[in-house]
Structure 1
Amino acid sequence: MSITSFSSRELNHDVSKAKKAANKGPVVITDRGKPSHVLMTYSEFERLTGKRRNLVDALSMPGLSAIDFDPPRADIAPRGVDLS
């Protein structure tokens, strides 16, 4: 994976070149010499962020009942309180 850098001006002049570079790796876009944004393909974005699920969806996954899950019981001892 190669990282390419474009200034904001270069990006505005040749967006297609930046998009082609994003197929090979992330493109860092600079503003006044400092990195400000990153251009990447949407598939790479999805890979990095993952599919978000809510708890109900996660617990209703097919095959979940076949997983053996027996966590140890938490042993929480109460502490004494000094109210003096």
Structure 2
Amino acid sequence: MSTTTISSREFNQSASEAKKASANGPVFITDRGRPSHVLLNIDEYRRLTGGFTTLLEAVAMKEDDVNDEFDAPRAEIGIRAADLDE
């Protein structure tokens, strides 16, 4: 896997070249010499993020596949007396 770095100006002038380079590894896009964006091909992105679940896949999940162990934290709501003397 190779890493490519290009300026934002180069990216704007040749986005197709950057897309081709992303097939071999991430493409870092710089803005004033500092990395500001990274271009990845979709397979690498899915590998890094653990893939994705479509709505159809979520609906079709078996009950055993669903992680339903979610405990929502209790909300702390401060209540104070109303000032009705005005």
Normalised by the shorter chain, which TM-score bucket?
0.5 to 0.7
Residue 12 of structure 1: SS of its match in structure 2?
Answer: helix
Distance 1:22 1:39 in 2: 6
Shift of 1:41: 0.3
Identity of matched residues, %: 53
TM-score by length of 1: 0.62
> Over the residues paired in the alignment, what is the CA RMSD in angstroms?
1.9
Read off the aligned partner of 1:29 and give its amino acid letter.
Answer: I
TM-score by length of 2: 0.61
Deviation per CA, 1:20-64: give whole Å up to 9, x if none: 00000000000000000100001100000003679xx69613xxx
Distance 1:22 1:15 in 2: 11
> Mind listing any 5+ residue stretches in structure 1 that lack a counterpart?
62-84
Read off the aligned partner of 2:25 and give its amino acid letter.
Answer: G
